[in-house]
Structure 1
Amino acid sequence: MNRRRFLTLSGVGVVGAVAGCSGDADTGESIDDHPAAADLEAQPRRGELGGHVVLAFEDPSCPTCRRFHQDTVPAIQQNIVDTGKGAYVVRTYPVIYPWGEPATQALESTFARDGEAFWSLFGHYFAEQSSFDSDNVLERTEAFLTEETEVDGEAVASDARERAHDDAVQADVQAAENAGLGETTPIILLFEDGEFVTKVNGSVSYDLIAEALGEHDG
């Protein structure tokens, strides 16, 4: 990240943590060494790693995550993923409302079976967020997967109740804790050419992400 870009981001109060901002060189921590990016290749993602990486810790029960998913992620898909410039990676992080934890268990169970079904379910949780609670989330999850995907919804719901994929859930939680990210979701970490650029929280705009990643540099 060059100094001008860092000062612009700092001026609008959105930089959560920036490494390597002296002079014109970015000496940020390598993505391979950053604790939030541990086992990154095993996480759900759109696009290919390398170039820009937008790593988001999101809770399906979080209203701010919903706004980020609906307002900003489509632009990330269009401008970074579809153009081959990088990847959008999700780590599920259930820290807001209680139903987010069984939903996260179901997401990991779904991802273990079918990546595209994971994205369908992830989007469904945000689209219908107000209709979920701890009592109905797995029943509604089972119905959605059965009706809208090729995944066995009953098996996913059973796995979620038994926490069959809890290792994957806890790996995401541990990655956040190891990186000291806190619990203000969504938490978005940006990497450029394999180096950490910055961390931001909340339903940030695509323009802010593009600025941090140098997409607006002339």
Structure 2
Amino acid sequence: MRASDRAYLCLREEIIDGTLAPGSVLGEVEQSARLGLSRTPLREALSRLVADGLATPSGRGMVVTAVSLAEAAQLFDLRIALEVLAARRCAEKADTAEVTNRFTELADRFTAAAAPLAEGADPTGYYALTQELDAAVDSTSGNDYLADALRGVRVHLARLRRLSRHSPARLADSAREHAAIARAVAAGDPELAAATTVVHLQQALAHLRSDPTTGSKETTA
């Protein structure tokens, strides 16, 4: 992996998980020293973060962009359009045992995760499981442009998710919703895959909007 790729992935993850908070200055000298690389690959990495919307130039240099709940509706508009299309395409391609088994196994794991989440289990493993489903959808849809667009949207949604408190009940419902999506794909039913995806995303947006802890967190992650 090139030095610029390593720097980009590291900084991107730190922005998403909040280690680098909105407003943090991404100074070339400091970041080069911290990441152990020269300033040229760091500049390449910073340029990619700007293209992603995760950093922006300012009078102090590059800074991490703010994240606001006000962005949620627009991001979910785009996400619904893209995710529904991807789910349809996956279900249409569920004509092999490999695809069917892959999504059935994911559905089973989501179903098994629901009860522990409802009881307050650490959601880290659950979030990793959602990433597995995302990767399965991206690779099965057969459309690289669609997969690239979805990855970009998911980055910003991951930052938004950090504004919301962990709700065991919502996490359990979300696990069951993901299970329904995976089972619809495994069954080769495009309409059901689309419908279950819409239900999940609408519920996710409703929870984000109704969470009282998000009201004043426009610049914190």
TM-score (norm 1): 0.26
Point out the structure with max Rg over C-alpha: 2
More strand by share: 1
More helix by share: 2
